[in-house]
Amino acid sequence: MKKIAIVTALLTLTGCISFPQSEQALAETGSKSPTMCSNQPVEKLTKDIEKYLSKCYRWRRDVYVNGANVTTNFYVSKKEIPEGAKYFVTLPHGEGSNFLLTVLAENGNSECQSTINGYAYNFMWARHFGKLEKIAKGEEASCPL
């Protein structure tokens, strides 16, 4: 009975949460990661980031049962930029999306062949920063629980 009350309270409170509606809003209000230096070329780094995000989240797929979406889908999208790539983890709503995690992989400078930067909605999403640090070092990263 106590668990039901807690779950009900949490579900009620989730209606009061305001998520960033754009990449810029997430950058302004979210947690910023430290810049992660990598000795890998940006092409390899982006492939490793894609592999990691594919293990953890869907790539724009919907699951419907009898016309109703029955799961909470976090989507990953990629935007190519001249210096590398940006990845967005979003939660769709209505006609838009809530931005929860942004990852930028781009060419580095004389000190780093490439770099990773990220923005996270809250501490739960900031857990990815440690995993991205592993990827920057060339290590395999597992999904946070």
**How many C-beta atoms lie closer than 10 Å to residue 6's C-beta?**
10
Topology classification of domain 20-136: Double Stranded RNA Binding Domain (3.30.160)
pLDDT tens for 69-91 read: 555 678 889 999 999 999 999 98
pLDDT tens for 104-113 read: 999 998 899 9
Q: Domain ranges in the chain?
A: 20-136
Confidence tier at 121 by pLDDT (50, 70, 90): very high
Reported pTM = 0.78
pLDDT at 8: 47
Looking at this protein, which amino acid is placed at residue 97?
A: S
pLDDT tens for 36-72 read: 999 999 999 999 999 999 888 865 555 556 666 555 6
Q: To the nearest whole percent, how much of the chain has pLDDT over 90? A: 53
b/e burial code for range 35-46 (CB count within 10 A of at least 16 → b): ebbbebebeebb
Asked if residue 115 has pLDDT above 90, the reply is: yes
Q: Distance (Å, rounded) from C-alpha 105 to C-alpha 138?
A: 14
pLDDT at 9: 47
